[in-house]
Amino acid sequence: MPKRQSCTLTTQQGGIVAMPTNKPLPFDSGLIESIRVDPWAAQRRASEIGTRRTFKGASQVAATIRAIRCMDLTTLAGDDTLGRVDRLCAKARRPVDLDLQTALVAKFDLPTTPICVGAVCVYHKMVADAAAYLAGSNIPVAAVSTGFPAGQTPLETKLKEIELSIGDGATEIDIVISRALALTERWRELYDEVVACRAACGERAKLKVILGIGNLGRLETVAKAAMVAMLAGADTIKTSTGYEPTNATPEGALVMVRMIRRFHDLTKIKVGFKPAGGIKTAADAWKYFILMKEELGDEWTQPELLRLGASSLLADLELQLNHQAFGRYGAESRFAVA
């Protein structure tokens, strides 16, 4: 078995660099219909991700910290309370214990800038409270919207929900597409729906479009839906809600990332990627860094263009940092999210 090459990431100072919102481009049915995906080739390539490269030493520390910076720290449960959201926001502000960060700074010569997550993601009802708690932190509040997770609500209701969430302080909106439109290949209708959501966001909020790939079946359908979303003005395309039969998968992620690359080649517009669902360990997160570096380049491993939808992931990332700093993992209960 060939030895895996070391993959390099460097630790950079925190903060998300503001990027202009995407603008809808004209619908191009020829472009959509030209998309073809060989599922066997996609699965073969996806199976290689993370097998030829790995992170070692200081790069492993940098990758772990980068994963925290790219996290959309999320709570989307029916029993969410204001207390839970406040605790989640407190963890978002300081996801790494101060003593642990101090030890990492001393051992690996890291920047002293506080580490924080990419965003806090909640239901609309919790947006105002999260925004108030995070005021002054520069951590965005992301609201799941448009009838999340099923998307089975009228368009007028979806657009009103976006408006209300932005009014309460959300600066990122995670919408879920009407999967039926993709499954029946009504691409123009899907395009019009996402364009309407883009218009509702305007320049006040980033638009993150959830495809729900576990409901879409064929990888070619995933690819076409991704391209439609980007043409319609998506700033980020996201794999899943976390409530589908399957969520983020290596082959689904690969196909979406390839569409991002094709869209960038055609338009020079940079669209972000957000895998979500089932990302629980540092090793899971590192695979997405390797995928982005190999397919798109290091710029797409930054929180401006990569988000990891997760919550339980943070505990494992802290365990890894504790081991790298002190040579031991410690008790997982010390690193509870909320």
Q: Which domains does the chain have, with CATH numbers?
A: 51-328 (3.20.20.70)
Q: Can you tell me the distance from the alpha carbon of 165 to that of 38, in angstroms, rounded to the nearest whole number?
A: 39
Rounded to 10 deg, the angle between the 39-48 and 219-231 helix axes is 80
Q: Which of the residues 72, 129, 174, 316 is marked catalytic?
A: 174
Q: Residue 1 has what pLDDT? A: 40
Q: Can you tell me the distance from the alpha carbon of 240 to that of 216, in angstroms, rounded to the nearest whole number?
A: 11
- Look at residues 180, 162, 182 and name the one whose alpha carbon lies nearest to residue 172: 162
174 has catalytic annotation: yes
Question: Is the omega angle on the peptide bond into residue 149 within 30 degrees of 0, that is, cis?
Answer: yes
**Alpha carbon distances (Å) from 174 to 102, 144, 195, 237:** 34, 5, 14, 9
Element (H, E) at 321: helix 313-326
Is the distance from CB of 170 to CB of 122 less than 8 angstroms?
no
HSE at residue 318, side-chain half, CA atoms within 13 A, is 26
Record the pTM: 0.90
Q: Residue 332 has what pLDDT? A: 62
Please report the sign of the dihedral spanned by the C-alpha atoms of residue 94, residue 174, residue 278, residue 303.
negative
User: How many beta carbons lie within 10 A of that of residue 36, not counting itself?
Assistant: 8
Q: Residue 18 has what pLDDT? A: 64
Q: Residue 181 has what pLDDT? A: 97
Q: Which of the residues 158, 208, 274, 287 is marked catalytic?
A: 274
274 has catalytic annotation: yes
Q: Which of the residues 158, 224, 238, 287 is marked catalytic?
A: 238
Rounded to 10 deg, the angle between the 219-231 and 250-267 helix axes is 40
Q: Residue 12 has what pLDDT? A: 53
- Look at residues 50, 67, 49 and name the one whose alpha carbon lies nearest to residue 9: 67
Any residues with CB less than 8 A from the CB of 288 and at least 6 apart, and which? 253, 275, 279, 306, 308
pLDDT tens across the length of the chain (338 residues): 445 555 555 555 455 556 778 899 999 999 999 999 999 999 999 888 877 767 777 888 888 999 999 999 999 988 999 999 999 999 999 998 888 888 888 888 887 788 899 999 999 999 999 999 999 998 999 999 999 999 899 999 999 999 999 999 999 999 999 999 999 999 999 999 999 999 999 999 999 999 999 999 999 999 999 999 999 999 999 999 988 888 889 999 999 999 999 999 999 999 999 999 889 999 999 999 999 999 999 999 999 999 999 888 999 999 999 988 888 876 666 666 65
238 has catalytic annotation: yes
Backbone angles phi, psi at 158, to 5 degrees: -60, -45
